[in-house]
Chain A
């Protein structure tokens, strides 16, 4: 009881509330600026938190983490430049909505979904941490390998009509993941004798190049036929209440499923919000009934945005209970704890219960602030559509270059971003989609390193690789899931083609 009073007094002190708000607003803005993201922000702001009390510092970083997970969708929806890998799928559906004049609705869907996902993730963090952390450690090398392979199946969902081109993109991404250090041996490969590639291809410069720079170059060259300069319809006026009702009436299944996917993926160490949002998008698309995905279906915004915010709470589960951060961003927060002499893990809840619970309860406050910033900010964000593209392009490119530099304080990443940006333009000409490249880049490293680990373990124990994998129940479950996802994808694709044929026939009839 004493603890409850203390935690409440901590959370609802003016200082903590102000820090929560500051962190959230910073996060939303960083997430929304193409080239910037929460991970960069958290790394930059980390030293400033050292002088704060542990709980306050953590909440500041937590606010940035949560805020940026939402913020990335804003630029994705409005100018087709996802601020983070997490919102790559959101842009696929959100930008077409903007072109139809439904940008505001898309933004409302995004904030509602993000808030819902955050709450579920945090709820799970508060109540199911012991259970989930026990499940998380059951995922060893073979499970992680299969899970990442399972993630690859959603390539089909990320591509329009031409699945082969999507696969080419994914394979290119897998190749990019191999550049740099081979972690198992410590040797370098595919570096072509240049020091710039020794560090491999980081996700952040890749996302900046493929999405932000490529999109801006395309817009600048006028390759895009429908920019919002001339052809976009005026933004329609929508009421938040209407969208709110709509979300829960029509899309509650997506909210729940994506929350579950996001939280669970977040719990697994070494994953993160991006994988969660990709899987949730793939899941949503497999239930596509009318071929409206890829053309601005709100479900394709709701699913990934719910999942990437749910993953925030999820990734804090193993960090707080076992001392194993679930994502790259929570790994930096782990550092923030240790600098105060707090070792995350079970002891944290015994020795520093006030810090642990102040943080957990404070994150709900952060979610509330994120919701407010989102809802009241949307009319402001939408103003960006009134700007001419020629003013947006240089600003986005400038931030992109700064963002790429700040990953490792290194010019190499700037070159990588520029080169991938130009490749992205080339791919767009060839109608090869960019999103599967990012998917391949994220999953490639996980698949390879866990395959190598599994095979070493198998060899040491004198087993057969397949026998080893099939003797593990979780592996079998993931394999079945993979088969189901492929089947669902093929079915959705077929349905899409059928609808296409039918509309063609109708058109022919009408014309004829």
Chain B
């Protein structure tokens, strides 16, 4: 008797398992018209607590209210974000796995390493979320007060001026500085902007390159900021001059982007872009400003145009 019952239960279970895909298939069919039907996973290629993470959360918290389903952030900063970059590439292109990284990240990984092959064509670029750039600043108490001071010092002693970099990715900013100012300096690679900032305060290196989010801290500590590597000044820090206005075309714009794997359905991209546009008129812009970044939504043809020129410039630099 007992055996019979368990057999029946077993049969029931087996049939349930067999039928289950049908239900799932039914869901898939209705999904396209009403994306999203379930929670969306967003892979962030940096650990919790950093700038990329803050940006992802500043966007996702208001955005999940607009799309009507939760956005779950998964942080993986392993190997400088490369592992997560591979995970986004491998994900199913159904709109339920998205990612956040910068144009600088993807170009750097696509052109400089072969361990996990990623290419700029492996992703669907949904939207640029913000705009930022690197700044060049002198150590505390340095005799360098502006760009001409740096040029003069570096011309007198070629290669003697040390410039700290948060990671190998900023080598590009350094090369631009050297090339456009016509000087030779020595880059010292650190692990992270915080240590660069600490060593600038301690005076262990002559100058450093940091992201624009350090402007506030640098001004508090009285460090001289020589220039910003963007086309125009930042609205939040109108006192910081660009290199362009000083006559040096040092431009290294970075945009954190919402991305997905290659071949994301147009409906998905359109839905996200439409909701992002709504969000940037209010809550998303506010939350991005709160974390000290500059909101700048870039989508569609404009984003494609920006990336085409940007990737071409980075490819030329990184593969030479």
| Interfacial residues, chain A to chain B (CB-CB below 8 A) | 43, 46-47, 50, 136-141, 180-181, 183-188, 191, 195, 198-200, 202, 269-270, 318, 322-325, 331-336, 338-341, 343, 345-347, 408-410, 412-413, 449, 452-453, 456-457, 459-462
Contacts and interface: CB of A to CB of B under 8 A. Distances in A.
A141 B204 contact: yes
A325 to B, nearest CB: 6
Interface string B208-241: 0000000011001100000000000000000000
Contacts of B221: 322, 345-346
Contacts of B203: 140
B162 A460 contact: yes
Contacts of A331: 49-50, 194
A311 to B, nearest CB: 17
Nearest to A185: B168
B100 interface: no
A431 to B, nearest CB: 33
B250 to A, nearest CB: 21
B75 interface: yes
Given A341-B291, A343-B217, A409-B75, A181 B83 contact: no
Interface stretch (B31-39, B111-119, B302-310): B111-119
A258 B303 CA distance: 56
A460 B159 contact: yes
A461 B291 contact: no
Interface in B157-214: 159-162, 167-169, 186-191, 194-195, 197-199, 201-205
A186 B168 contact: yes
A447 B167 CA distance: 17
Interface residues on B, range: 35 or more
Among A322, A413, A449, max chain B CB count under 10 A is at: A322
A346 B218 CA distance: 11
Nearest to A199: B78
Contacts of B76: 408-410
Interface string B229-273: 000000000000000000000000000000000000000000000
**Best-surrounded residue of A318, A338, A412 (most CB of chain B within 10 A):** A338
B89 interface: no
Given A183-B190, A410-B78, 10 more contacts: A47-B57, A136-B198, A186-B108, A191-B115, A199-B82, A269-B194, A324-B201, A335-B48, A460-B186, A461-B160
21 contacts: A43-B75, A50-B61, A137-B198, A137-B202, A183-B167, A186-B168, A195-B86, A198-B79, A199-B79, A199-B83, A331-B50, A332-B49, A335-B48, A345-B217, A408-B76, A408-B77, A449-B190, A456-B162, A460-B160, A460-B161, A461-B160
B83 A408 contact: yes
Q: Which of B77, B78, B160, B189 has the most CB of A within 10 A?
A: B78
Interface of B: 47-50, 53-54, 57-58, 61, 73-80, 82-83, 86, 108, 112-113, 115-116, 159-162, 167-169, 186-191, 194-195, 197-199, 201-205, 216-217, 220-221, 289-292
A310 B277 CA distance: 48
B123 to A, nearest CB: 18
B153 to A, nearest CB: 12
A198 B83 contact: yes
B216 A347 contact: yes
B215 to A, nearest CB: 10
B48 A43 contact: yes
Contacts of B116: 195, 198
A200 B186 contact: no
A334 B193 CA distance: 13
A456 B205 CA distance: 11
B115 A198 contact: yes
B202 A139 contact: yes
Contact of B186 (A325, A347, A456): A456
Contacts of B216: 343, 345, 347
Contact of B199 (A50, A140, A343, A408): A140
A343 B290 CA distance: 10
Contact of B198 (A202, A269, A456): A269
Contacts of B187: 456
